[in-house]
């Protein structure tokens, strides 16, 4: 995981290179024709792709902080570079407007990176929202299945209870029948004994 995270920071590094490279382009974007504008468009697309990858790898919150740090660092380095090599960049005087112009160029490409992050995050949120809409259906199905299983268990328990009650009642009836039989036999035995005693007494008389 640690090696992957270090690799993930290569994308902000590439974004910093793209922003820094924009300083060497001409400032007359629309006056120079389509060729110069196409270069700016390609840089913007690359910045957008970097923002997309940063959101995928470093997440939106941490990646946004990294992109903001890259923009600030690139703008600071651009100001130092332009102030030190003003003649190379064709600036006769270090005016505040020129400094602001180069800073705005860096901010524009950084904003494209933020735009890529936002689009990527919106797509992720949309997918998660779609999955969350599907999950209640799955949950209702699972709830219905659980309800059916509960009904089956309850019906099975009722059948077992009725069977147990029937067997208990049958055993009770059998025991009552045996008791009645014993009582009848005991009465018959007592009656026979009485008859036997009467016969014995009559013979003695």
Q: How far, CA to CA in Å, does 126 sit from each of 15, 114, 118, 133, 156?
A: 26, 18, 12, 11, 45
67: exposed, middle or buried (Cβ count in 10 Å: 0-12, 13-18, 19+): buried
The mean pLDDT of 37-46, rounded to a whole number, is: 81
pLDDT, average across residues 76-90: 74
Q: Is 153 helix (H, G, I), strand (E, B) or coil?
A: helix
Burial 19-54, CB ≥16 within 10 A → b, else e:
bbebbeeeeeeeeeeeebeebbeebbebbbbbbbbb
List the chain domain ranges. Answer: 2-135
The pLDDT value recorded for residue 9 is: 82
Identify the band that residue 87 occupies on the pLDDT scale cut at 50, 70 and 90.
Answer: low
pLDDT of 30:
44
Please write the tens of the pLDDT for every residue from 141-166. 777 788 888 888 888 888 887 888 88
Q: Is the pLDDT of residue 139 over 70?
A: no
Q: Do 55 and 11 form a contact (C-beta atoms < 8 A)?
A: no
Q: How far apart are CA 189 and CA 181, in angstroms?
A: 12
Nearest residue to 50 via CA among 125, 127, 112, 122: 112
**Tens digits of per-residue pLDDT, 107-123?**
888 888 889 888 988 98
Q: Quick one: average pLDDT of 24-38?
A: 57
């Amino acid at each position: 995981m640690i090696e992957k995270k270090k690799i993930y920071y290569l994308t902000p590094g590439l974004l910093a290179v793209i922003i820094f490279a924009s300083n060497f382009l001409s400032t007359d974007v629309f006056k120079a024709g389509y060729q110069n504008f196409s270069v700016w468009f390609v840089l913007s697309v690359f910045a957008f792709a970097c923002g997309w990858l940063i959101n995928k790898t470093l997440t939106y919150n941490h990646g946004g902080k990294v992109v903001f740090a890259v923009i600030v660092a690139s703008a600071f380095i651009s100001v130092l570079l332009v102030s030190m090599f003003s003649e190379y960049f064709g600036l006769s005087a270090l005016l505040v407007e020129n400094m602001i112009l180069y800073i705005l160029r860096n901010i524009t490409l950084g904003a494209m990176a933020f735009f890529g992050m936002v689009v990527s995050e919106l797509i992720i949120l949309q997918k998660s929202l779609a999955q969350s809409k599907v999950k209640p259906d799955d949950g209702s199905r699972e709830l219905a299945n659980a309800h059916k299983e509960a009904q089956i268990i309850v019906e099975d328990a009722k059948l077992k209870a009725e069977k147990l009650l029937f067997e208990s009642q049958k055993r009770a009836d059998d025991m009552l029948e045996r008791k009645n039989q014993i009582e009848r036999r005991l009465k018959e035995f007592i009656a026979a004994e009485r008859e036997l005693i009467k016969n014995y007494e009559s013979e003695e008389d």
